[in-house]
């Protein structure tokens, strides 16, 4: 039966009924809904708004309903939404007493509460997955403090760095993602119940008590705002979108690195797929999917932003559209983090190939110019000299490492020690400012990352 049957004399049209129903997706709020109802009902009893024994009976019955759902004895079906389902089930079990549960409450403040409770758990879950993945990257980085590789700008080889430095950059992004979710949680974690449909209620409710029972540190300040605010869901979605963007960027690198031309990384068979026609293929599908699913999570954020932009205060049914976006973003980010973590743990980096690509690609040109600066040549002039050297190398099939000293000398004031000066290890070892790739700085950064990730 509909919760609002009294005003109506004819059943709602079948297509309209199914269009209106949110049960197929809001059923996952069942636990939050029941816990929220228990707290509300406990408060109603304590305040003498309903008899204490009625409150106690409702609470124990809600516990039974929860247990039956969790053991699969009770199927969530045949209702307009999860709130109606729980209330109908309660009334079918204890009759008239169950009908007292909704005193002083509306589904408008109820659904706001449920979603906040759900997102609190979801944010905690994502934070722990982000932390795991950042630790995985830190572990891999630690093994590669001395693994040289080219750093790129414009996807052109730029300067030598280490794999540790490159991977730790992603660990930093994940640390900021954690902070974004923690920040979102501050606004999620505010208790809206007691706002009623829009102007609260005249019953002598105790909102602070409900907040205390449900572990909320604060209650919402304005009932109109509380039932129509979904900023907290947008904060969550934005944090999901940014985290996906980071996973997508690393995915893009893995896709490039695992290609036959790069061969920087070999994915484990457990995290790659083959082709139905080309027997040689081993494809980085997981990373392509993460990159693709990033678009879908951006869509979730854009969808809710757009839903919210034109609705007048207070609650409007448009807001029922919040849940699918939020659940989809959560599920997508969660699955991406789980798969990516396993993929990285099993992937093998090709250390000798990384070395070969570092030495072969003029990544030491900046060092070469700095060498001349050390001999008193102004940097702009040194830059031009090394530019000509590079052209000479390209034309003669040489690298800065294989160029002879006589050839070097035709261009400027070079000595035997140029070869040491342009070594990748020398270049990296000299970079000692905070944030640099030298093994000393990287060891500090990784230790600091571990500290931040364990807090
Ligand atoms: N299913 C609704 C939602 O998800 C619950 C609130 C409905 N409130 C109402 N007055 N119809 O937003």
Does ligand 1 have an atom closer than 6 angstroms to the CB of 54? no
pTM: 0.95
Q: How far is the CA of 423 from the centre of ligand 1 (A)?
A: 66
What confidence score (pLDDT) does residue 403 get? 94
> Is the CB of 26 inside a 6 Å radius of any atom of ligand 1?
yes
Ligand 1, atom 3, residue with closest C-alpha: 320
Q: Choose which residue among 111, 115, 116 to substitute to test ligand 1 binding: the one with the highest number of ligand atoms within 8 A of its C-beta.
A: 111
Average pLDDT over residues 427-444: 95
Q: Please tell me the distance between residue 219's alpha carbon and the centre of ligand 1 in angstroms.
A: 21
Taken in order 105, 111, 112, 118, is the CA torsion positive or negative? positive
Cα(241) to centroid of ligand 1, in Å?
A: 26
Could you tell me the pLDDT band of residue 217, with boundaries at 50, 70 and 90? very high
Residue 261 has pLDDT above 90, yes or no: yes
Among residues 248, 259, 275, 276, which one is catalytic?
275
| CB of residue 320 inside a 6 A radius of ligand 1 | yes
Res 211 pLDDT > 90: yes
Q: How far is the CA of 264 from the centre of ligand 1 (A)?
A: 52
Phi, psi of 435 (to 5 degrees): 95, -5
Q: So what's the pLDDT on residue 399?
A: 92
- What's the rounded mean pLDDT across residues 317-325? 97
pLDDT for the residue numbered 74: 98
Q: Please check the confidence at residue 209 and state whether its pLDDT lies above 80.
A: yes
Tell me the two tokens of residue 18. 């199914």
52, 43 Cβ separation under 8 angstroms: no
Mean pLDDT of 17-46: 97
pLDDT at position 273, please? Answer: 86
- Cα of 65 from ligand 1 centre, angstroms: 21
Which two structure tokens, joined as six digits, stand for 311?
């609705």
Whose Cα sits closest to atom 12 in ligand 1? 320
- Is the preceding omega at residue 314 within 30 degrees of 0, hence cis? yes
The per-residue pLDDT for 421 is 93
Task: Sort 207 into a burial class: Cβ within 10 Å, 0-12 / 13-18 / 19+.
Answer: middle
Most confident range (mean pLDDT) of 273-282, 396-405, 443-452 is 443-452
What is the reported pLDDT for 9? 82
**What does each C-alpha distance from 223 to 115, 220, 316 come to in angstroms?**
16, 7, 14
> Pairing between strand 148-153 and 156-162?
antiparallel
Q: How many residues does the chain have?
A: 455
For residues 374 and 39, what is the distance between their CA atoms, to the nearest angstrom?
Answer: 73
Place of tokens 């907040």: 211
In the predicted model, what is the mean pLDDT of residues 372-400? 95
Tell me, what DSSP letter sits at residue 153?
E
Categorise residue 362: left if φ over 0, alpha if ψ from -120 to 50, beta otherwise. left
Percent of the chain with pLDDT over 70: 100
Residue range 213-226: mean pLDDT, rounded: 98
Options 154, 202, 276, 454, the catalytic residue: 154
The pLDDT confidence band at residue 8, using thresholds 50, 70 and 90, is: confident
Which residue, judged by its Cα, is nearest atom 7 of ligand 1? 107
Atom of ligand 1 nearest to the CA of 323: 4
Residue nearest to atom 2 of ligand 1 (CA): 320
Is 102 labeled as catalytic in the residue annotation?
no
Q: Per-residue pLDDT averaged across 103-119, rounded? A: 98
CB-ligand 1 contact for 322 (6 Å cutoff) = no
Judge if the beta carbon of residue 69 lies within 6 A of ligand 1.
Answer: no
Mean pLDDT of 289-317: 97
Lookup: tokens for 267: 């994915």
- Average of pLDDT values for 203-220? 98
Q: Ligand 1 centroid vs 202 CA: distance in angstroms?
A: 21
Mean pLDDT over 399-425 rounds to: 94
If you measure from the C-alpha of residue 329 to the centroid of ligand 1, how many angstroms do you get, rounded to a whole number? 21
Average pLDDT over all residues of the chain? 96
Q: Is the pLDDT of residue 32 over 80?
A: yes
Site to substitute for ligand 1 among 24, 313, 320, most atoms within 8 A of C-beta: 320
Residue 276 has pLDDT above 90, yes or no: no
pLDDT for the residue 5: 80
pLDDT at 333: 98
- 């294989």: which residue's tokens? 402
State yes or no: is 325 an active-site residue. no
Taking residues 176-182, what's their average pLDDT?
98
**Residue nearest ligand 1's atom 4 by CA:** 320
pLDDT of residue 51: 98
Residues of the chain above pLDDT 90, percent? 93
pLDDT digits (tens, 9 = 90+) for 338-368: 999 999 999 999 999 999 999 887 999 999 9
Token couple for 235: 């904060």
Q: Is residue 394 over pLDDT 80? A: yes
State the average pLDDT over residues 81-105.
98
Q: Angle 107-143/30-46 helices, nearest 10 degrees?
A: 130
Q: In which region does residue 376 sit, left (phi positive, over 0), alpha (psi from -120 to 50) or beta (all else)? A: left
pLDDT at 199 over 80: yes
pLDDT-derived band at 388, boundaries 50, 70, 90: very high
CB half-sphere exposure, 83, CA atoms < 13 A:
21
107 lines ligand 1 (CB under 6 A): yes
Asked if residue 427 lies in contact with residue 165, where contact means CB atoms within 8 angstroms, the answer is no
Say what the pLDDT of residue 7 is.
83
Is pLDDT at 281 greater than 80 in this prediction? no
């Amino acid at each position: 039966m509909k919760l609002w049957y009294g005003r109506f004399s004819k059943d709602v049209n079948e297509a309209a009924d199914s269009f209106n129903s949110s049960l197929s997706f809001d059923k996952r709020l069942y636990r939050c809904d029941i816990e929220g109802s228990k707290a509300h009902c406990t408060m109603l009893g304590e305040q003498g708004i309903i008899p204490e024994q009625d409150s106690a009976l409702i609470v124990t019955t809600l516990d039974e309903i929860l247990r039956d759902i969790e053991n699969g004895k009770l199927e969530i079906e045949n209702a307009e939404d999860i709130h109606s389902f729980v209330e109908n089930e309660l009334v079918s079990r204890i009759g008239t007493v169950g009908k007292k549960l909704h005193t002083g409450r509306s589904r408008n403040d109820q659904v706001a509460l449920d979603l906040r409770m759900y997102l609190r758990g979801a944010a905690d879950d994502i934070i722990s997955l982000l932390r795991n993945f950042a630790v995985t990257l830190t572990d891999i980085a630690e093994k590669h403090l001395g693994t040289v590789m080219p750093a790129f700008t414009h996807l052109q080889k730029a300067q030598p760095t280490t794999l540790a430095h490159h991977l730790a950059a992603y660990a930093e992004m994940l640390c900021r993602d954690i902070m974004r979710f923690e920040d979102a949680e501050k606004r999620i974690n505010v208790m809206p119940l007691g706002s009623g449909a829009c102007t609260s209620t005249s019953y002598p409710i105790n909102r602070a008590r409900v907040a205390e029972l449900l572990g909320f540190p604060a209650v919402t300040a304005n009932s109109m705002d509380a039932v129509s605010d979904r900023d907290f869901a947008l904060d969550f979605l934005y944090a999901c979108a940014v985290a996906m963007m980071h996973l997508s960027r690393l995915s893009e690198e893995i896709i490039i690195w695992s290609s036959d031309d790069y061969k920087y990384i070999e994915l484990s068979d457990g995290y790659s797929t083959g082709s139905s026609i080309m027997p040689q293929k081993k494809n980085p599908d997981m990373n392509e999917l993460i990159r693709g699913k990033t678009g879908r999570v951006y869509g979730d954020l854009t969808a809710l932003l757009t839903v919210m932009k034109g609705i007048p205060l207070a609650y409007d049914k448009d807001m029922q559209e919040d849940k699918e976006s939020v659940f989809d973003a959560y599920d997508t980010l969660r699955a991406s983090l789980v798969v990516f973590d396993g993929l990285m743990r099993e992937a093998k980096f090709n250390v000798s190939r990384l070395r070969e690509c570092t030495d072969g690609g003029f990544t030491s040109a900046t060092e070469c110019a700095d060498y001349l600066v050390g001999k008193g040549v102004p940097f702009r002039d040194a830059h031009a000299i090394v530019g000509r050297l590079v052209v000479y190398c390209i034309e003669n099939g040489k690298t800065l490492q294989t160029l002879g000293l006589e050839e070097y000398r035709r261009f400027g004031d070079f000595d035997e020690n140029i070869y040491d000066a342009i070594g990748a290890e020398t270049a990296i070892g000299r970079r000692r400012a905070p944030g640099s790739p030298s093994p000393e700085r990287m060891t500090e950064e990784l230790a600091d990352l571990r500290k931040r990730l364990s807090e």
